[in-house]
Structure 1
Amino acid sequence: MLPEKRAADDYRIEPVPDRIAILASGGLDSSVMLAASARNRRSVYPVYVRAGLSWEPSELAILKRFIRALRMGNIEPLTILKLPMGDIAGDHWSMTGRNVPGYNAALASNYIPGRNLSLLAKTVIFCARARIGEVAMAPLESNPFPDARPEFFRAFVRAVELGVGIKLKISTPFAGMTKAEVVRRGADLPLELTLSCAQPKGAIHCGACTKCAERIEGFVRAGINDPTVYARKPKPSQRRYSNHSRLQAHKV
């Protein structure tokens, strides 16, 4: 006898109000977003996804320090999810730590195909089990990548509702902001306990990669003293990226 089919509503998961998961990387943007969400008196669940990227040990260590420094009781213990990507992209610079995009490289050189898709895939399953109805990410205005676009998030949310049974919201509160605006917003936070570097040595930024360049220039344009420790700190360049050229600089 065939098993009776269950209606889709039988699998429906009802989120608990005021819970939010923050995809936290230890970087400046997601750390400021984490603090802002906690200040809104919500129950905040920081989530870090380990994929095997070369800078993850440094990121994870500094993220834990940042969360401790906030001293906010509504931030839940950090959840660490594992989603190894070495079998797919083991030779990519983000895995090997070699030939990372340099200081004057285009922002598009930071592109890791499917990065947001992979981050979200496991996070939403965690959210369903924890009955969390919102996930926040921190792409900025300058992010040109296909999996950071509103249409991608809309399609992903629909797929999650159909396949997982939870009505999920993906929020991107900094999508219309520049790096300088995020720096200003987080000016009262311990921003020295954030990391934006493709080849860090512990908590020390290299000062020579594209990620460091964006960070350095963000502080300069914000008019705020940069507390970051760099192995070397170049003078900010006058880099500008057109929407037409961003994606042309990277091939995997």
Structure 2
Amino acid sequence: MVLSMDRWKGKTAIVTGASAGCGASIAEQLVEHGVNVVGLARRKEKVEELAKKLQNKPGKLYAIKADISKEEDVLEAFKWVKENLGPVHILVNNAGIAKPSRLVDGNFTDWKNIFETNVLGLCAATKEAVNDMKQNNIDGHIIHINSVLGHYVAHVPFLNVYPATKFAVTALTEVLRQELMNMNSKIRVTSVSPGPVETEFASANKLPVDDEFEKFFEAMPKLLGEDVADAVIYVLSTPPHVQVQELTVRPVGEKV
């Protein structure tokens, strides 16, 4: 099997949650491979900072302010891409949040926000991308940044509904694969499931008042955002007839 990113050079990718962590690393590597990337994030200024850093690279990074949990933001972002860059070839659903608490005393609004971002936002972006690819006869690629927690529930405190949202991503990957197959579409779909990652997302979602949880997380072996980006580049590099449906990437020595 020959691995190559050549077919994506000059094409357009959308990466959600592109302001930091895995999303920023994925956007950067795609630009390095000559892809024009639209980075969606609530913190647009962070994406703009990254775009300046990548000015002389083969591809280009564009920053769009969008909250993936709001359908109107998703629709506006895809409209901008269509009007300014043309059809979408790659969608990386990376945006995700966690709000640590226990199920028995957690906050309903927090749970709702987690599902709206991790599940419904992913569905909204996927719908727009697939429809755009179909209309333009593009054999594109949809990549969901999932988690090992989308396959089992770890003995980790304060996860509440987060694993449930990632289990949903696992199911949605297969649902989409089956729908595309039944449509005789050659659009590919992949779930990339990392273990613990040392990113701003992880540190921002710690419980600062809980020393036990902080020590637990700090002691874990962790991947870097660049490792997840490498996984994304790998699945995109496979030949058009190859579909990597699930790719699990874990740090050596992970025990949870």
Give the TM-score category using the shorter length.
0.3 to 0.5
Q: Which has the higher contact order (CA 8 A, sep 6+)?
A: 1
User: How does the TM-score come out when normalised to structure 2?
Assistant: 0.45
State which structure, 1 or 2, has the greater radius of gyration over its C-alpha atoms: 1
- Of Structure 1 and Structure 2, the greater strand share is in 2
